[in-house]
Amino acid sequence: MALPNSPSELRFSQLESEFGRNGKRSLGDYRVSDDYANQRGGAAVAVGNLPLDDGIPQSGQIAFSDFHGKRLNMVVDYYSRSERTRVDGRRKYNNRPGDVRCVGGFRTRPANSSGTKVILHVNDVIKSEKDDNRRKVAFRTGSWNGGTDLRIDVGDAGKILGAGGDGGKGADNQNERGGNGKNGNSGLGLAYPATIRIFSGGVIAGGGGGGGGGGGAYDTDKWDDELASGGGGGGGAGRPPGEGGRKGDGWEADGEKGSNGSDYGGGSGGDGGDEEEAIGGRGGRGGNSGENGESGESGSGEKRSGGGSGGKHGYWLVTGGNSYNLALNQGTTAGGTNGGGYS
C-alpha cells in the first residue's frame, strides 16, 4: 500500500513495511540507484538507475517528507532473453517470483499488487503466433489488483510484434478467384489501465495483412487454348512473418509463389503465368507493419477471374476498453488501436 500523503506524519516502520528493511535501518540507505542487468549474447541488457520511487533522492539529503505518497516499485523481467512468444504479465508475476525485482532489493514481491508500481520492462523481442484473429496479441498484461500503478516500458532493443498474415493462393484458372490474404494480428493487449513508454529503438506493431492471390486467365486462338494461373500473394510483416501464397497450378503457364514477409516489411506478390494472350494476375504485396495487404490483380484474357482481397492489419494496441497514457520517447507504433478485448 502506498505511503500516506502530506501532511500525515510518517514513521520509519511504515517505510520498512512498504519498501523492506535495509541493512543499517537508516533513512540514508534508501537512497538507491538500482541496475538490473543480464548478459545476452555477450552484452549487458540493463534497466538502470532506478530510485526507490520517483522523487526519492538517490544522493544528498533525504528526509521523511521525500516519502509522502511513495510506493514499492517492482520490475518484471522481459529483458534477459532474446525472444519470447505470447506472454502474460500478471501470470509471470504470480508464477515466477524470481523474475520480479523489488527496487532496492530490501524485500520480496507481495502476492497482492494493490498500492504498488509494477513495471513490465521489455527489452526482448515478444512475438505472437499465426492466427487470422486480428485481436490476438503477443503481449497480454493480464488483470491486476485495484490500485496498482501499471507501467509497460519498451527499451531500445524491445519489440512487441504481432504475426503477419499469409498471402493468398493464386487462382488455378479463369473459373476461380485468387485466394484472400490472411489477417495480421496484434502487439499489446490491455486488461488493466496502464502507462506505456516506448523509448528510441523500441517498437510495438501489429502484423501486416497478407496479399491476395492473383486471378487466372484463359484465351484461345486458331491453334490452341491458352491458360495462365495467378501468382501468390506476399506474406505480411510481423514476427513470425506471413508466408508467401502458393502459386496457381494451371496446365500451361503457372504463376509464381509470393515472397515471405519480414519483421517490418511485406513480401512481394508473385507474377502471374504468361501464355501470350492469357496472362495470370500478379499477387498483391503483403502489408508492412500495421498495414493491410494489397489485393491481387485480375487475369488478362478472353476469360479471366479477379484477384483475392488483401488481409487486414493487426493493431499495435488492443485496449479492452481500458484507459492508457502513451509516451513515445522517439519509439515507434504501427497499426492503430482497437477498443475490444484481446485474445
Here the cell at position 55 is 522523487
> Tell me: the pLDDT tens digits for 287-340?
999 999 999 999 999 999 999 999 999 999 999 999 999 999 899 999 999 999
Here the cell at position 305 is 477471374
Bridge-based pairing state of the strands 203-205 and 332-334: parallel
Is 295 inside a domain boundary? yes
Here the cell at position 57 is 533522492
Q: What is the DSSP string of 298-338?
A: PPBSSEE-PPPPPPPP--SEE-TT--EEEE-TB-EEES-EE
Is 32 inside a domain boundary? no
Is 108 inside a domain boundary? yes
In the 8-state DSSP scheme, what is residue 343?
-
User: Mean pLDDT for each 10-residue chunk of the chain (343 residues)?
Assistant: 89 96 94 77 68 96 96 95 94 96 96 97 96 97 98 94 98 96 98 96 97 96 86 98 95 92 98 93 98 98 96 98 94 96 92
Closest CA to 130 of 65, 181, 193, 71: 181
> Tell me: the pLDDT tens digits for 15-38?
999 999 998 999 999 999 988 766
Specify the pLDDT at position 42: 56
Residue ranges making up the domain that contains 199: 73-343
Is 199 inside a domain boundary? yes
Is 249 inside a domain boundary? yes
Is 52 inside a domain boundary? no
Is 66 inside a domain boundary? no
> Tell me: the pLDDT tens digits for 52-62?
999 999 999 99
* Total-model pTM: 0.94
* Gap between the Cα atoms of 306 and 327, Å rounded: 44
CA-angle at 85, arms to 84 and 88, nearest 5°: 95
Other Cβ atoms less than 10 A from the Cβ of 125: the count is 20
Give the count of domains, the chain.
1
Is 55 inside a domain boundary? no
